Structure 1
Amino acid sequence: MGGELFTQMAAEQMFSEEVARFYIAELVQHLHSLGIVYRHVLLTDFVLSKQALGADGKANTICGTAEYMAPEILMEMHYDKSVDWWTLGILMFEMLTGDTPFRANNKKKTLDAIQNKKLNVPYYVTNDGKDLLNRLLRKNPNGRLGSGNDGTKRVKSHRWFRKIN
């Protein structure tokens, strides 16, 4: 395809699950191999990344695009790499639907929706896709798929990826 992912998304509006699965699998494979808490999906824009975490493996700065921020960032809590799994879920949702899940008509309402609104996945997303989205977009980072030491392995083993080598 070539070009930036968001250029492709703007042109296509939304991707098939097969195309989204390819991109998401590439991101899962690559992102955490870098040891970076990314907080935003444009992988070339490392101004929005944070490599130097504290001794506890956590950070507490706020940056990035509001629609992609995990609830723990908005609440100014210390966070870890689980915020990347939230952002991956937001990106996956956007790829499959053409919009982010907690978007509202102003920034304050968007931030409130991220913290309080229940995820609503459209009917046309497969059951495996819905399950992965619901697990990635859990508001509690400790219950979010991808959290913990074996998080990447658990994400990769989700049944939505079964068609990917």
Structure 2
Amino acid sequence: MVNERLQADAAMMMEAFTDQMAGLAKIQRDRARLTATVTACQKRISVTVNADGILIETRFAEDIGDLTFAEIAAAMTEAVQGAARKVSEQGRELMEPLRERKDRLPPLSALLEDMPDVRSMMPVAPKVSTAPPNSPERQYDDEGARFGDSEPFERRSMVSDLDK
């Protein structure tokens, strides 16, 4: 009897896992197609980002010359960040049905004796900063930490404007 229940539980988990993987594959395909466009400065600047928040298109209106370089730079930064937030929200919305289904499943610890609750062990990713480089928000406590007696690695690049 116990063996039959265990087999039924395992079959249910495998079916749910298979459904989850099929759902995840579809979500990944749909997410890869996402884009978000945001305009700034009375629609004189338009930016589009892909699903990863990477800028893929920039358009300027004819009268962009009315703005200073500082205004254009600030508007571009704000617009790209806004588009990235927008596409990130679209991605979260795509994932919601899968999350809801996953939340209905019993944790593995409820099915297997002595199995820890893996969900509670998952680390929570910190919020990613949108602050400019060298701002106080980007100063981290562990920045000076080094591993043992290792020497710092000097990065070299063929591209001259990478952060150094």
Measured against the shorter chain, the TM-score band is under 0.3
TM-score normalised over the length of structure 2: 0.25
Q: Comparing both structures, which one devotes a greater share of its residues to strand? A: 2
TM-score normalised over the length of structure 1: 0.25
Q: Which has the larger radius of gyration?
A: 2
